[in-house]
Structure 1
Amino acid sequence: MGLISEVLLLPLAPARGGAWAIRQVLHEAERIYYDPATVRAELAQLEERLEAGEISEEEFDRQEDELLDRLEIGMHGGAGTGEGTAR
């Protein structure tokens, strides 16, 4: 962009900076959400809840399927690309 464009768009700089910060936070949240280590830990906790009788077998199966989907996305590099935000 030219100097004149930059001067004219200067009042919008805080909004552009805020949008950048939001994108960075979203990217980091997706990275953590799809991190294989995080998903494996959640799977272990889910199994403990089943063994303790806190959840039913059906609820376990439903949550396990969701976690396995997240694990697959995380293992195949879909995390942080926006693939996880459409769910």
Structure 2
Amino acid sequence: MVKILTTARNQGKKIHIYNTETRPLYQGRITSADLLKAGVPDTMITDDSAPFFVDNEYDSHIHIHKVFLGSDCIRTNGNTINKV
């Protein structure tokens, strides 16, 4: 994911990433550090606050246009598997 977002940034696309901390192992902290190191603007948010960032009912200055979800496995039939 970091490589894709870095490529988009290098192509001149205006992006700012809001990523979750990804509990319990906090993989989001690693992602955030990697994005910042690559020069991609990033804001890490708590897992519980994510719905408030993507809900259009709230009058926020933040406008989320795309959501990317990760998983440990995507099967050929489209099903996903992820740890809990």
- Bigger helix fraction: 1
- Bigger strand fraction: 2
Higher RCO (C-alpha under 8 Å, 6+ residues apart): 1
Do the two structures share a fold, i.e. TM-score over 0.5? no
